[in-house]
Amino acid sequence: MAAPALRLCHIAFHVPAGQPLARDLQRLFGFQPLASREVDGWRQLALRSGDAVFLVNEGPGSGEPLYGLDPRHAVPSATNLCFDVADVGAATRELATLGCSVPVPPVRVRDTQGAATYAVVSSPAGNISLTLLERAGYRGPFLPSFRPVPSAPGPGWVSRVDHLTLACTAGSSPTLLRWFHNCLGFCHLPLSPDEDPELGLEITAGFGFGGLRLTALQAQPGSIVPTLVLAESLPGPTTRQDQVEQFLARHKGPGLQHVGLYTPNIVEATEGVAAAGGQFLAPPGAYYQQPGKERQIRAAGHEPHLLAGQGILLDGDEGKFLLQVFTKSLFTEDTFFLELIQRQGATGFGQGNIRALWQSVQEQAARSQEAE
């Protein structure tokens, strides 16, 4: 591996000036302003909830935004993942020998709180670039050249990033797996026993819905890096685009489809987001009527009517449970969305929940297409 990822620093988004993403993250999801920078037409605002940090770049400006690239993408998008590494210079040299493009070679940035060095590497995952960051000893709240933004404590609905899901073109997952392994030290994380990493986990979503192939990757032991999930669609008996195909079309290519945000109390978080005006996908009508579902929900210590009323999905067995709820898209293009996830001992993603999400997004997509 050329540049083992040690920690996720932040996820960067590029949006047009005036797009409400930064406002919505604060108003709807409890993120608080952390630091900002306005130079050369770029407005960069870092927002935080727990250890989850989103950097919203509003432009376009002249040149490149600090700690990233201007992807010049056709639609608003999550465009950059920033990872702490041990040695940016050594990492970029190794990546270059592997054939990686390094559009921003190592740059050192300093302010009164210390210094950081970063470089930006192109990836084969659509419009996603990767920033490699070395900031040992930096004392500021975010990164050099950013001005701290005073803010009140947030509600604490989100404590960290649990996983990142990339929507991929059909058949590309094995290539992406090898790239992330060779370049950043990610390894295949089986989602089912005896899973073939070349095939991943194939999930059929029910009659008329096609299916989904998931391949999960985890960083090296000891790192603080979310699980990376590669998602591609499987052919099904329908001519209507499925959710991955629709993302690829509306996003103009592969990219970050959603971020799973860990919450210590999903019921409280969902209530808070909904009260603030956030919107969630509705699960399929029959989800909570499945045989044994009520018993399973009660075994996890929850009330079925509360989960059903908020659209929270629950899956698990043997005393280990997974709870998830999914927002509607944060962009008018109906692409990127967020997930709130609570784990009660479960480490995977719950095949039953994946099927339910798939059907929920498909039903929402069908309604959107009918309205067009």
The Cβ-side half-sphere exposure at 28, using a 13 Å CA radius, reads: 18
CB 259 within 8 A of CB 164: yes
Q: What is the DSSP string of 142-177?
A: S-TTPEE-----------EEEEEEEE--TT-HHHHH
CB 300 within 8 A of CB 318: no
Q: What is the DSSP letter of 334?
A: S
- CA 236, CA 356: separation in Å to the nearest integer? 16
Is 163 annotated among the ligand-binding residues? Answer: yes
The residue among 62, 2, 26, 5 whose CA lies nearest residue 219 is: 5
Residue 293 backbone dihedrals phi, psi, to 5 degrees: -65, -45
Q: How far apart are CA 276 and CA 29, in angstroms?
A: 8
Those residues with Cβ within 8 angstroms of residue 275's Cβ, 6 or more apart along the chain or in another chain:
none
d(CA 270, CA 155): 12
Cis peptide before 16 (omega within 30 of 0): no
339 in a labelled binding site: yes
Cα distance between residue 318 and residue 19, in whole Å: 45
Residue 210 · residue 242 · CB < 8 Å: yes
Query: Which residue matches tokens 């009517």?
Result: 305
- Binding site feature residues for Fe cation: 163, 258, 339
- Binding site feature residues: 163, 258, 339
